[in-house]
Amino acid sequence: MKILITNDDGIYADGLCGLYFALREEHEVYIVAPEVERSAVGHAITIHYPLRVREVRRGKHFWGYAVSGTPADCVKLALYELIGPVDLVISGINRGPNVGINVLYSGTVSAATEAKILGYNGIAVSIDAFEQIDYCFAAYFVSKFAQNLKGLPLEEPFCLNINIPHLNPHQIKGIKIVRQSTAKLREIFEKRLDLHGKIYYWQGAEEHTEEDEDTDVIALKKGYITITPLHFDLTLYSAFKTLPKSLNIDL
């Protein structure tokens, strides 16, 4: 397959590197990624500033294109200008999980969603760890999963959000297809003073309140690789059952 890989951790991220080397033996792989980390930018795109693109090399060999914009920018530029049509877009491997409400904030997931918007198949991949990460198994799993995509009954274009436990492979309990949790987050803001005595806030740790085992949050916590099919239609269809088809309001 012809595969585009991107991320939100930046073109020099270890997760991107591990993914590239796991895929390149079997596939034609291209890299277009942000030049610096762009985590938690959601589905932002750049419209008020020019997008700069530069070639990045590893030693004497071409590595990929570094883009001054967001993950969604990278996908747009890659498919329209730099690479052209591909069979699959893979975003990751992200440092830290992307589950629950955080899916909406994630630049990693938004890159895969952007692929679907443009009519291409997209996969977002994250690992449930932030420090001392071993990407080997996660990269291996993605390469095996990509080989088996044709055997899955997926409507195309699809967008899949995959989260992988940071465990010894023998400790992973299996693979679950689950829904995204929509439970609220418990969030903490630390109030601090700067050197001039001015107050500022630093967003700190967060905690999921989810308890349903059929969600990405709990299944991942219990040691399963989670796969969640995503779409970008935000319409609340249940509202059409109660709302009238039109409103009579004097304007």
User: Is it the case that residue 248 has pLDDT exceeding 80?
Assistant: yes
pLDDT for the residue 60: 84
pLDDT for the residue 108: 98
User: Is it the case that residue 206 has pLDDT exceeding 80?
Assistant: no
- Number of compact structural domains in the chain: 1
Helix (H, G, I), strand (E, B) or coil at 158: coil
The residue assigned the tokens 């970008």 is 232
Give the residue numbers spanning the domain of 42: 2-182+210-241
pLDDT for the residue 213: 86
Q: Is residue 157 in a domain?
A: yes
Q: For residue 225, what are the contacts with CB-CB under 8 A and spacing of at least 6?
A: 141, 162, 163, 164, 165, 172, 174, 175, 176
| Chain segment 83-101, per-residue pLDDT in tens | 999 999 999 999 999 999 9
| Chain segment 156-177, per-residue pLDDT in tens | 999 999 999 999 999 999 999 9
- DSSP string covering 113-137: HHHHHTT--EEEEEEE-SSS---HH
Q: Is residue 47 in a domain?
A: yes
Q: Is residue 248 in a domain?
A: no
| Chain segment 58-69, per-residue pLDDT in tens | 888 889 999 999
Distance, CA of 102 to chain centre: 10
Q: Is residue 102 in a domain?
A: yes
The residue assigned the tokens 């899949």 is 160
pLDDT for the residue 69: 97
Task: Work out the mean pLDDT of the chain and round it to a whole number.
Answer: 95
Q: Is residue 189 in a domain?
A: no
The CATH number of whichever domain residue 54 belongs to comes to 3.40.1210.10
Return the structure tokens found at 74: 């990278």
User: What number of helices (H) and strands (E) belong to the chain?
Assistant: 6, 11
Q: How confident is the model at residue 208 (pLDDT cuts 50, 70, 90)?
A: confident
Return the structure tokens found at 185: 């987050």
User: Is it the case that residue 205 has pLDDT exceeding 80?
Assistant: no
Q: Is residue 170 in a domain?
A: yes
Q: Is residue 222 in a domain?
A: yes
User: Is it the case that residue 102 has pLDDT exceeding 80?
Assistant: yes
Q: Is residue 247 in a domain?
A: no
User: Is it the case that residue 28 has pLDDT exceeding 80?
Assistant: yes
pLDDT for the residue 207: 81
Q: How far is CA 78 from CA 6, 38, 63, 164, 176, in A?
A: 10, 17, 14, 26, 31
Lowest mean pLDDT among 29-33, 105-109, 180-184: 180-184
- DSSP string covering 70-129: -HHHHHHHIIIIIS---SEEEEEEEES---TTHHHH-HHHHHHHHHHHTT--EEEEEEE-
Exposure class string for 84-116: b at 16+ Cβ within 10 A, else e: eebebbbbbbbbbbbbbbbbeebbbbbbbbbbb
The residue assigned the tokens 């795109």 is 45
Gap between the Cα atoms of 234 and 237, Å rounded: 9
| Chain segment 211-245, per-residue pLDDT in tens | 888 999 999 999 999 999 999 999 999 999 999 98
Whether the full predicted model's pTM is greater than 0.85, yes or no, is yes
pLDDT for the residue 203: 85
Q: Are 57 and 34 spatial neighbours (Cβ–Cβ below 8 Å)? A: no
